Copies of this chain bind each other. A is one copy, B any other.
Amino acid sequence: MTVIKDRRMDILQAALHIFSKKGYHNAKIEDIAMEAGIAKGTIYQYFSSKQDLFQQMFRHGVERYGQSLQEIATNESHIRDKLLALAQSHGKFLEEHIGMSEIMPKESKLMSKEMRCWVLEQRDHAFSSLEEMIEQGIALGEVREDTDKGVAVLAIIGSLFAYYEKESRNKEMKFEEISPMPWVDFILRALQ
């Protein structure tokens, strides 16, 4: 069985790595090519421009994050387990996409209007999943009925990011090693 190398995927991976490490403007096409083990020109066989590469990479990452989040939010387990899984998944994602959360730029050039729309849609999807999670929690009697779902979701996401960011900076540990329990406990207190 031959290993079929998917050049496109190699490049996407390399782009993720380099963009995350250096940010869009400091990442050189050549860096990415080198990381992918190919020549500069080859990238243009698969992507029409640096911007295109960035957008496709971004889209790829967002999709995967959204999927994983949806799966967790809509499975059958208890709210506590879901929050736990959410946090773990977030940590794992950060491990791979380290720095990605910091490169989403406002620059209109980087994000076409459609792309921006798509990102917001994806976010809304994700938020819907999480709101559904809250609803299920309410249905199961695990979450207080008077919970403002919208705010709860924002607080969950916002504090999750802040928590991982702070923890990873203070203790020099990998994202996956960070214990999500304190965060889960805190959130649960607001929900229950």
Contacts and interface: CB of A to CB of B under 8 A. Distances in A.
A159 B153 CA distance: 9
How often does this chain occur in the complex, in copies? Answer: 4
A162 interface: yes
Q: Is the interface of A mostly helix, strand, loop or mixed?
A: helix
Given A102-B106, A106-B102, A120-B169, A155 B21 contact: no
A183 interface: yes
A156 B158 CA distance: 9
Interface of A: 20-26, 99, 102-107, 109, 120, 144, 147-148, 150-152, 154-163, 166, 169, 182-183, 185-187, 189-191
Given A158-B163, A162-B158, A106 B186 contact: no
A177 to B, nearest CB: 17
B185 A148 contact: yes
A104 B155 CA distance: 22
Contacts of A147: 186, 189
